[in-house]
């Protein structure tokens, strides 16, 4: 099995899910006591969040590029950025290393298309929902992407940063997310991408009338397949 390199800590709540899923999926594939071969560089999310909110994306990319080089030096054969939002700097990170970067949006788009869905709602941070780097990557695979209205986007973003990233899971927020999903479905969404790795801590298949696409699990599954 190849060694999977992880750029994590954004937040560590979802990176812990990555680690669990990579090992569970490897055991499912190989059986017995098998587990995933991984190298993890976990950053301080407070530093990254400051760069995000102040628009210092070049500096954020440099930070993750340095982390990627350390993961490659530690023996990783492929690379995952364990967050949707920071795929804004994916090209900068990929250019810093000689190992392949498995892009989360590409893996997600393949899963959506395999399910026969073409018009999909997207939940994520405000950066992911409002900027082009993620939506256009999905659109490049032939998907039509819908996002919540301004109030819905603010709600989804706030819950991610103020609750999920610090390990808080509230029923009131789950209900609010269900309402956002219902409005996306009413607008024509045939499925919903959980386009922030923390959202899977709050929302599952039972919370949506249409299929949901959990990006952490999708990314981890694609990584195990590539590593094997």
Q: How many CB atoms are located within 10 Å of the residue 76 CB?
A: 24
Q: Is 53 a catalytic residue?
A: no
Portions of the chain given CATH number 3.40.50.1860: 4-103+217-227, 104-215
pLDDT the model gives residue 206: 95
- pLDDT tens for each residue of 193-224: 999 999 999 999 999 999 999 999 999 999 99
DSSP per-residue string spanning 62-114: HHHHHHHHHHHHTT-SEEEES-SGGGGGHHHHHHT-SSPB--HHHHHHHHHHH
The CATH number assigned to the domain with range 104-215 reads: 3.40.50.1860
State the distance between the two ends of the chain, measured CA to CA, in whole angstroms: 5
Distance CA(224)–CA(228), nearest Å, equals: 6
- pLDDT tens for each residue of 13-54: 999 999 999 999 999 999 999 999 999 999 999 999 999 999
**Confidence class of residue 157 from pLDDT cuts 50, 70 and 90?**
very high
Top-level class of domain 4-103+217-227: alpha beta
pTM greater than 0.85 (yes/no): yes
- pLDDT tens for each residue of 54-87: 999 999 999 999 999 999 999 999 999 999 999 9
Q: Is 165 a catalytic residue?
A: no
Q: Which of 108, 196, 215, 216 is catalytic?
A: 196
Distance CA(79)–CA(103), nearest Å, equals: 9
Calculate ∠ Cα 43-213-91, nearest 5°.
45
pLDDT the model gives residue 102: 98
Q: Which of 15, 26, 83, 128 is catalytic?
A: 83
Q: How many CB atoms are located within 10 Å of the residue 174 CB?
A: 14
* Closest C-alpha to 126, from 96, 154, 161, 149: 154
**Confidence class of residue 185 from pLDDT cuts 50, 70 and 90?**
very high
Query: Measured between alpha carbons, how far is residue 213 from residues 95, 103, 112 in Å?
Result: 28, 15, 7
- pLDDT tens for each residue of 93-150: 999 999 999 999 999 999 999 999 999 999 999 999 999 999 999 999 999 999 999 9
């Amino acid at each position: 099995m190849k060694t999977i390199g992880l750029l994590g800590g954004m937040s560590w709540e979802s990176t812990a899910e990555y680690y669990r899923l990579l090992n569970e999926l490897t055991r499912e594939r190989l059986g017995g006591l098998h587990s995933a071969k991984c190298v993890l560089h976990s950053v301080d999310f407070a530093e990254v969040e400051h760069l995000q909110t102040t628009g210092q994306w070049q500096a954020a990319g440099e930070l993750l590029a340095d982390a990627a080089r350390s993961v490659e030096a530690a023996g990783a054969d492929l690379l995952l950025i364990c967050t949707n939002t920071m795929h804004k700097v994916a090209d900068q990170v990929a250019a810093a290393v000689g190992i392949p970067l498995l892009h989360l949006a590409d893996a997600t788009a393949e899963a959506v298309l395999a399910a026969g869905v073409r018009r999909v709602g997207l939940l994520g941070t405000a950066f992911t929902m409002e900027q082009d780097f993620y939506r256009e990557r999905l659109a490049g695979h032939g998907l039509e992407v819908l996002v919540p209205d301004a109030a819905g986007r603010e709600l989804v973003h706030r819950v991610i940063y103020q609750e999920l990233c610090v390990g808080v899971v509230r029923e009131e927020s789950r209900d609010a997310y269900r309402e956002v999903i219902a409005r996306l479905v009413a607008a024509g969404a045939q499925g919903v991408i959980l386009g922030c790795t923390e959202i899977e801590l709050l929302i599952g298949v039972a919370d949506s009338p249409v299929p949901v696409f959990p990006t952490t699990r999708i990314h981890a599954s694609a990584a195990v397949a590539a590593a094997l």
